[in-house]
Amino acid sequence: MSIASPQRPHSHILEATHVRHSKSSRPVLEFLSHYVFSKDHKVIGLQFLFSTLLWFLIGGLLALAVRWQVAWPWSDVPVLGKLFEQQGGQMAPEFYTMLFTMHATVMIFLVIIPILAGAFGNFLIPLMIGADDMAFPTLNMLSYWFMWPAFIAFGSSFFVEGGAASSGWTSYPTLSTNVAASPGSGMGQTLWLLGLTFVGVSSMLGSVNYMTTIILMRAPGMTMFRLPMTIWAMFITAILQAFALPVLTAAGFMQLADRLIGTGFFSPEGNIVNNTLTSTGGGQPLLWQHLFWFYSHPAVYIMTLPAMGMVSDILTCFSRKPLFGYRPMVYSMAGISGLGFIVWGHHMFISGMNPALGTTFMVSTMLIALPSAVKTFNWLGTMWGGKLQFTTPMLFAISFVSMFIIGGLSGIFMAATPVDIFIHDTYFIVAHFHYVLFASTAMCVWGAIYFWFPKMFGRTMNEFWGKVHFFLTFIFLNGTFFTMHILGAVGFPRRLADAYHYETFHHLQPLNAFMTWCAIGMVACQIIFAINFFWSIFFGPVAGRNPWNANGLEWTTPSPPGHGNFDFQPIVHRGPYEYSVPGCEKDFLMQTDPPRVLPAVTH
Amino acid sequence: MGRFWSLIFLAVPVLGVGTFAVAPFFNIWLPADVSEHGRSVDSLFMFILWLTGAVFVITELLLFWFMWKYDSTKSKTPAKYVHGNHALEVVWTILPAATLLFLAIYQMNTWADIKMRRPVMAPTVEVVGRQFEWRLRYPGRDGSLGTPDDLFLVNDLHVPVDEDILIQLKTMDVLHSFFLPNLRIKQDAVPGMKIPVWFKALETGEFDIVCAELCGWGHYKMKGRITIESRADFDAWLEKKYALQEQTAPPPEETDTAGL
Ligand code: HEM
Ligand SMILES: [Cu+2]
Ligand SMILES: [Cu+2]
């Protein structure tokens, strides 16, 4: 912690606070310890950000290849075609299977989870609670570096014999455990399981750190109920991770053991794959599904709660209004995480699981839509009566609300067991999770990047191009994903390399072609974002400490903050959402503003 | 620009509802239903569609209206300094909770009909998934499965109309899912399990059997056909197939297909 200076520095003061390192005799080591193996939460956060954005690009390109096959099966693939020269430029079905498996794997495990918790969690937690760093900086550094074995495992699996994993991101046995069942079930699947384990270790290290930091390192005056929603979300997410992950890790090891030493946890007696009788038995394929979803349902909230938190912060800032229903917002997040542990069976309604159990899971699943509804109403309440500023981050935040409504409502169809019989494993499900994961979470991530970019790099991104980026992404994403609902209503199955030979689906090719064009547009317009992002790091207009006139503690630090974050001791006097306080000369009241500035204000 | 952005968000409910409204005219909608319980599945789908549709339209319109009305460049009134409203919170917690609970209870009967109240009868046919085909096994003249006179077929399922059909679903290798879009039936086939699937078809015709659970590279081509026909036609077909099997080959090598 740097010197404590009593007064809060003025906002809009530009300071060059990059910590200057004294000339060292070992500049290489110095560079390594400050920028590569750094223990500074901000550097680690940015490392996560850059790595995950790179994987985002890879995942997006994989998605385009998937879409190509769905729209124009067996046609010559542009660019990728060279890979398939032996087949005359067409994609092989096993390649398609691998593509969607790895698309989902990359997006979930290497993009959404680490970008929320790893990038934003790391960068924001100490800044927003007024700490100089995380509780365990070394652990924090390791949480980033444990991603690298995962990057290498997933990345290299594309090049091993049989290709990368190809039994879906859910890796259901016995397809995934039996090498004879699928080409990708060889080395690729082993690497997949190893990669998953390393991602898990990384998340676990992060989650322990986040919980400790948030509980123990809050600045004086920062009570739990003065925490910004982002921090509450990160806190609850960390708890979810800590309780759910061990189950996935154990399941992963069991599958690994099944594959490598033939333990047969998941293989029943007498299984004949590819005309060979498997030697193991005594296991149950459904066991994997239970263990997998016991983690992966909470994981969908790990992929959405932090976004909900960040959206709440962005929405209040640009509505210039206090958050509507602070406590209900916190309780509903807690409710989501609690209920989140007892709904996993909704992924298994037709798996062969006891149908009576299905009924039970239907009730809990219906109920989990409730806290989501409460949150949505409170966001609407926050915008009601505000003074809305349509900045780029605000547009992304509003789109989160708008799109989350769609994703939440489609969840209700699937929670209804009889309806799920028909729509399970169709494009309806694909629509649902793209609305919650892409249209909501990923859109929020963009908003959050535009919002906290000034804090990260000391400069602001270009607003005009930010809005163009928003506009195009918003249009194209709805073109791509909304139409999936009606595809699902026909029963169009997911994961089929070519469905048009079915009488029921043969007329759906033009619609799929339209969606693929939208998907191409959606990926293409990210070029605007990439240019804006990198250009602004170097040439964007210099931002002061608080370019958005926001209230949080992070906006009292220099942009970007130096090592140790605060150049004064922050003392917190109020919650983070005191915007437009009557009788106050400015329309925001920072958490550190001394109480005398205003007439009596509660909260 | 606030006006422009509000209208963009207004487009969400407008085009959203529009998509669902025009889709049926392009035949991009629930495929024809020929089963008994399919009626109730479809009506539950439509019920949820109307309900969620109403919530969707109302919330999206509110969002649009707030954007339009509270645009800082247009509105003169200062932002309201409120932290919430207890009564509202209670209302918008209790109301959706009751609705959702009702929805859950409302589904239970249909679910039980399809997956829990299985007809008491011997299986009409055994369906066994195998990469990448549906193997069928009809009880032969003796009417019971697992005897040497069973009839073996691949991908060509026939069932009589207007009768309860009980299928015994198995798989030899990996997970598959037995999906009959026109009968609103879907059930995973799980290695090591025998899962009963039942339905009653109300119309004759020929429809798709789709595999709906990823089962490997050839998953997309794991296609079968189901022919629903009158009892007389069905019996004649069965007899013909049976005669064909008798004269061509000794019974296939595996008598017990999934080794169970
Ligand atoms: C409003 C609350 C929600 C409800 C009622 C709900 C319900 C469901 C149900 C029943 C399924 C299984 C459908 C099936 O496979 O047949 C499902 C799948 C899924 N949901 Fe949700 N959901 C909700 C919110 C979310 C959120 C917030 C996320 C993520 C941010 C999410 C992500 C997913 C994913 C990724 C899948 C598909 C997994 C797969 O099969 O590959 N859901 N949801
Ligand atoms: Cu789930
Ligand atoms: Cu299949």
SS3 for A377-426, per residue? HHHHHHHCCCCECCCHHHHHHHHHHHHHHHHHHHHHHHHCHHHHHHHCCE
ipTM comes to 0.94
Chain B from 198 to 227: CB within 8 A of any A CB:
207-208, 210-221, 223
CA angle, A374 as apex, A373 and A377 as ends, to 5°? Answer: 85
pLDDT, chain A, mean:
92
> Token pair of A189, please?
């699947």
Least confidently predicted of A66-70, A176-180, A425-429, B87-91: A176-180
**Domains observed in chain A:** 38-297 (1.20.210.10), 304-541 (1.20.210.10)
A383, A464, A534, B199 from A442: Cα distances, Å: 21, 20, 19, 42
Distance CA A293, CA A301 (A): 12
pLDDT at A1 over 60: no
| Position A15 pLDDT exceeds 70 | no
- Match 């193991």 to its residue by tokens: A280
- pLDDT over 90 at A601, yes or no: no
| Interchain CB distance below 8 Å, A321 and B81 | yes
Q: Is A424 in the pocket of ligand 1 (CB under 6 A)?
A: yes
B187 in contact with A, Cβ within 8 Å: yes
Listed residue (A336, A445, A433, A434) closest to A397, CA to CA: A445
Pocket test of ligand 1: the residue of A409, A414, A444 to mutate, having most ligand atoms within 8 Å of its CB, is A414
Q: Which residues, listed in sequence order, are joined to residue B224 by a DSSP beta bridge?
A: B209
What residues of B are in contact with residue A268 (Cβ under 8 Å)? Answer: 191-193
Residue of A267 and A10 predicted with greater confidence: A267
pLDDT, position A17: 41
Q: Spell out the alpha helix ranges (H) of A217-284.
A: 229-261
Q: How far is CA A48 from the centre of its chain?
A: 12
pLDDT band, residue A603 (cuts 50/70/90): low
Alpha-carbon gap, residue B173 to A246, rounded angstroms: 29
Residue B189 CA to residue B170 CA, distance in Å, equals: 5
**Coil, strand, or helix at residue B214?**
coil
Question: Which ligand gives the minimal distance to the CA of A342?
Answer: 2
Average pLDDT over residues B216-222: 95
Buried b (16+ CB within 10 A) or exposed e, B13-26: beebeeebeebeee
- What is the Cα–Cα distance from A409 to A545, expressed in whole angstroms? 40
Q: Name the closest residue on chain A to residue B209, using Cα atoms.
A: A502
Query: Are A386 and B80 an interchain contact pair (Cβ–Cβ within 8 Å)?
Result: yes
- The two structure tokens encoding residue A482: 């909304």
Percent of chain B residues past pLDDT 90, beyond the cut = 87
**Among the ranges given (A80-84, A305-309, B22-26, B31-35), the one the predictor scored with the smallest mean pLDDT:** A80-84
The predicted-structure confidence for A462-482, as pLDDT tens digits, reads as follows: 999 999 999 999 999 999 999
Q: Coil, strand or helix: which one is B8?
A: helix
DSSP B164-207: EEEEEEEESSS-EEEEEGGGTEEEEE-TT--EEEEEEB-S-EEE
Closest-approaching ligand to the CA atom of A97: 3
- The model's pLDDT over A384-414, given as tens digits with 9 standing for 90+, comes to 999 999 999 999 999 999 999 999 999 999 9
Would you say residue B260 has pLDDT above 80? no
The answer, yes or no, to whether residue A4 has pLDDT greater than 50, is: no
The answer, for B63 touching chain A at a CB cutoff of 8 Å, is yes
List the one residue out of A310, A168, A286, A296 whose CA is nearest residue A228: A310
- Partner-chain contact B100 A413, CB within 8 Å: no
Q: What is the pTM of this model?
A: 0.93
Extract long-range pairs of A289-292: CB within 8 Å, 24+ residues apart.
A289/A170, A289/A172, A289/A347, A289/A348, A289/A351, A289/A353, A290/A344, A290/A345, A290/A348, A291/A247, A291/A248, A291/A250, A291/A251, A291/A254, A292/A170, A292/A171, A292/A172, A292/A248, A292/A251
What's the pLDDT score for residue A596?
63
User: Domains in chain B, please, with CATH?
Assistant: 2-72+87-114 (no CATH), 125-248 (2.60.40.420)
Comparing A142-151, A211-220, A231-240, B251-260, which segment has the lowest mean pLDDT? B251-260
